[in-house]
Amino acid sequence: MPAVKSAVENLSPTRVKLTVEVPSEELQPHVDAALKSIGDQIQVPGFRKGKVPARIIEQRVGKGAVIQEAVNEALPEFFGKAVDETEIDPIGQPEVDITEVPMTDEENLKFTVEVDVRPEVVLPDYDGLQIQVDNLEVTDADVQEKLTELRERFGTLVGVDRTAENGDFVSIDLRAEAAGEEVDSVEGVSYEVGSGNMLEGIDEALLGMSKGETKNFSAPLAGGDQAGTVADCTVTVQSVKVRELPEVDDEFAQMASEFDTAAELREDVAKQAEQAKKFEQGIQARDKVLEHLLENTDIAIPEGIVETEVHNHLEQESRLEDDEHRAEVDEQTRKALKTQFLLDAIGKAEEVEVGQPELIEYLMMQAQQYGMEPNQFAQMLDQQGQVEGMVGEVARRKALAAALDKATIVDADGNAVDLEEITPGGDDGADEVVEDESAEASETTEDEQA
C-alpha cells in the first residue's frame, strides 16, 4: 500500500512547514467510516437505518460532505505519521491548510501544516562548574528566631483593652459589596494585623481600631468571578488580642521537645539553625547553577507559544489592555520556556528516567500544597490530561539535580560546600534542594506543548 509522503521546510529555528500527500488508498478506510457514520444518522425510504448503500448516501448528502468528514477524522492520524517520518518534535497547536481534496479514486489528499517545534539546545560544559555561595554564618539572632518560632507554636492569645497594633490578633466581621450587591461576608474571623494576607487595605483600616468599632474601606477583590473589581468593604472588630509567649525554661523544653532542659533545647535549636543555613546555601547553589546555564545557552523561543500563553494569562486576569503587565508576563513566560527547554536537554543528556516512586512522591507533595487528598488529586490530573506534564516536571527536577551534582560549590572563603550535609542520613543533597525548586517553569500551559 502506498505510504504517506511528507516533506519538511524550516521556517525558523522553532517553526516548520510540513507538506503531506496521502494516497487515496490510505484515505479509503476513513471514507468508509464516514459513510457508515452518516448512514447511521439519515433515514432513507425503502432502506433500514444503517443499511443505506454508499451511492445513495453520496446522492443524499453529496460526495464532498462525505470526503470532508473523512478528512477531518483522518487528519490527526496523517499528521502523526508525517511527524514520525520527518522526526520533528512539535509543540503547540498546528495550523492546517488542506490544499487538495480527492474527489476521485485517482486523486490524493494534500495538506500543509505549520507548527512550532522544540528548539535544538547545545548545552555548555557544566561538569566541574564552580559556583560560589555565601559563607555559613549562624548568629545568635538566627538561633533566637528559631526559638521564637517554637515559642509561638505554644503561645496563647490574651485579650487587651486598647486599639489594634501591628502583630495583634483581631477577631473581625467582614463584608464586601460591589455595585450595591453583597459579594461575600464572614463573621468571627481571626486575623493578624500587618500580615498582609487578606484584602488589600485591611491592615491600614484595622490599625487604631478598638473592640466594637466599625470602619469602611475600598479594596480590589482577590478572587472569584469579580477578581480585580473594587469592592466597598466594612470591617468590625470583635476583639483585640496579643500573643503571649512562654519563657524558655526546663518546663517549656519538656513540653515542646524531647529534651529535659532548656540548655539541651537551645543546643538542638542551634543545630537546626545551622542546618537551615546549609539548606540556604544549597538553594543558592541551585539557583546559581540554573542561572549560569540559562545565561550561557542560546535557546530559540517559539513566538507562537509565547503569544498564546501571554494572551491566556492576561485573559484570565481580565488585563488584556494592560501593556505594562503584558511585558512582565511576556518576560516571565520566555524565561519559563527557556528553563524548560534547558532542563529537558540536560535530562536527555543525563539519560534521566522517572520511576513510579518519584511520581508518587511528587504527586503527594503537590496534593498537600493544594490541600487535596492524593487520590483525588491524581484523578484530577488524569481527567485534565496533566499526567504527562507531571512526569516532565519530575524529570526536570532530576535534571537540575544532576547538573548541581556535577558542579563544584565553594563559599566566599573558597571552602568546599558539601551538599550531602544538607540531608543527614544519606539522601542526595542536590535532590533535596531541588525539591524546593519553584514550579515557575511548569506554569507554562502544558497543553500548549503537547
Task: Decide which of 52 and 26 is more confident.
Answer: 26
Percent of the chain with pLDDT over 70: 91
Q: What is the mean pLDDT of the chain?
A: 88
The three cell numbers of residue 133 are 555561595
Same fold, 5-116 and 156-244: no
Angle between helix axes 356-369 and 374-383 (nearest 10 degrees) is 100
CATH code for 5-116? 3.30.70.1050
Give the start-to-end residue ranges of the domains of the chain. 5-116, 120-154+248-427, 156-244
Residue 372 CA to residue 364 CA, distance in Å, equals 9
Residues 6+ apart with CB under 8 A from 230: 178, 218, 219, 220, 221
Please name which of 273, 274, 281 lies closest in space to residue 429, comparing C-alpha atoms. Answer: 281
Structure confidence at residue 428 as a pLDDT band (50, 70, 90): low
Mean pLDDT across 264-285: 95
Q: Provide Rg for the chain, Cα atoms.
A: 31
pLDDT tens track for 290-348: 999 999 999 999 999 999 999 999 998 888 998 999 999 999 999 999 999 999 999 99
36 has a pLDDT exceeding 90 = no
- Over the chain, what HEC string results? CCCCEEEEEEEECCEEEEEEEECHHHHHHHHHHHHHHHHCCCCCCCCCCCCCCHHHHHHHHCHHHHHHHHHHHHHHHHHHHHHHHHCCCEEEEEEEEEEECCCCCCCCEEEEEEEEECCCCCCCCCCCCEEEECCCCCCHHHHHHHHHHHHHHCCEEEECCCCCCCCCEEEEEEEEEECCEEEEEEEEEEEECCCCCCCCCHHHHHCCCCCCCEEEEEEECCCCCCCCCEEEEEEEEEEEEEEECCCCCHHHHHHHCCCCCHHHHHHHHHHHHHHHHHHHHHHHHHHHHHHHHHHCCCCCCCHHHHHHHHHHHHHHCCCCCCHHHHHHHHHHHHHHHHHHHHHHHHHHHCCCCCCHHHHHHHHHHHHHHCCCCHHHHHHHHHHCCCHHHHHHHHHHHHHHHHHHHHCEEEECCCCECCHHHHCCCCCCHHHHHHHCCCHHHHHCCHHHHC
Sign of CA dihedral 368, 373, 379, 384: negative
Please name which of 373, 382, 399, 396 lies closest in space to residue 443, comparing C-alpha atoms. Answer: 396
The three cell numbers of residue 399 are 535534571
Residue 147 CA to residue 139 CA, distance in Å, equals 13
pLDDT tens track for 38-78: 777 777 776 766 677 777 777 777 888 888 889 999 999 99
Structure confidence at residue 34 as a pLDDT band (50, 70, 90): confident
Please state which of the ranges 202-206, 288-292, 295-299, 434-438 shows the lowest mean pLDDT.
434-438
pLDDT tens track for 2-24: 578 999 999 999 999 999 999 98
CB atoms within 10 A of CB 163: 15
Contact in structure between 294 and 342 (CB atoms under 8 Å): yes
Structure confidence at residue 181 as a pLDDT band (50, 70, 90): confident
Please name which of 38, 37, 2, 6 lies closest in space to residue 23, comparing C-alpha atoms. Answer: 2
Strand partners of residue 157: 243
Q: What fold is seen in the domain 156-244? A: Chitinase A; domain 3 (3.10.50)
133 has a pLDDT exceeding 90 = yes
pLDDT tens track for 66-120: 888 899 999 999 999 999 999 999 998 899 999 998 888 788 999 999 999 999 9
Residue 48, pLDDT score: 67
Judging by beta carbons within 10 Å of its beta carbon (0-12, 13-18, 19+), is residue 50 exposed, middle or buried? exposed
Residue 2, pLDDT score: 59
Judging by beta carbons within 10 Å of its beta carbon (0-12, 13-18, 19+), is residue 37 exposed, middle or buried? middle
Contact in structure between 242 and 197 (CB atoms under 8 Å): no
Residue 221, pLDDT score: 79
User: What's domain 120-154+248-427's architecture?
Assistant: Orthogonal Bundle (1.10)
Mean pLDDT across 353-373: 90
Structure confidence at residue 419 as a pLDDT band (50, 70, 90): confident
